[in-house]
Amino acid sequence: MKKRSVVIALMLINVLTAQNVQIQHLEQALIQNPNSAELHLNLGKLQYQEVMKGEKEYLKSAVHHFAKATKLDAENCNAFCWLGSTMVMKAKFAVFPPAKAYYVHAGLAKMDDAIEMDTHHVENRFIRGQTCLGIPAFFGRSGTALADFLALEKMMTASPAAFDHETKAEILYYLGKSYKATGNEEKSEDCFARLKSEFGDTELAQKL
């Protein structure tokens, strides 16, 4: 058991090291090409992942890089969506309630803009939908989450080959959660039943 624990620890160290190397690589690339919206966006995404792991010192930098990407490429809807989600995340660390509310509303507005720019952008729909499910219900955005995952289900039905097995399972899982958040228990259970039936081998189905 001790030997296995050491192996797992070493694997985790390797993963963390690889992530840090990627961040450092992008930081160096930006020194050479500071006006690349793509580099700013990709670095922001990596730093966002670090914040999700609890490394909140990356939050300010992630916001900076996403904001820079939107300024360099005003038509990059993905950058706007990530910026919005990161602003909502800032609310988690804000001390004063008015600041928390500001970051949530400002972030949601950015994400709404991103969806308007491209209503069929799969990643953006996932980002906004999951963000809206993650914030308190009193912000009144449960319906937005439902709209996002209904849109994803429609896209999945129209072009099933464009979505892999795990992504299809995610869509059904979060659609079920969205129905539940909006008070529709029957449709929520229908989604979860379909998830278990069609994607029973996935981690999401097994956690229900």
Q: Residue with structure tokens 């192996």?
A: 7
Q: Is 75 in the same domain as 162? A: no
**Which residue matches tokens 């006006």?**
35
Kindly state whether residues 109 and 167 are assigned to the same domain: no
Do 7 and 90 share a domain, yes or no? yes
Last residue of one domain, picked from the residues 71, 94, 118 = 118
199 burial via Cβ count (<10 Å: 0-12, 13-18, 19+):
buried
Q: How many CB atoms lie within 10 A of CB 56?
A: 14
Token code pair at residue 111: 């994400």
Residues 2 and 65 in one domain: yes
Q: What is the pTM of this model?
A: 0.88
Whole-number Å distance between alpha carbons of 124 and 105: 17
**Chunked in runs of 10, what are the mean pLDDT values of the chain (208 residues)?**
44 54 90 96 95 92 97 98 97 92 97 98 97 96 98 97 96 98 97 96 92
CA angle 42, 48, 49 (to 5 degrees): 95
**Same-domain status, 76 and 140:** no
Considering the domain architecture, whether residues 76 and 158 belong to the same structural domain is answered as no
The boundaries of the domain holding residue 40 are 1-118
Q: Residue type for 121, please?
A: H
d(CA 177, CA 195): 12
E strands of 28-172, at which residues? Answer: none
Among 75, 101, 118, which residue terminates a domain? 118
Does 180 lie in the same domain as 93?
no
| Dihedral of the alpha carbons of 110, 113, 114, 115, in degrees to the nearest 10 | 130
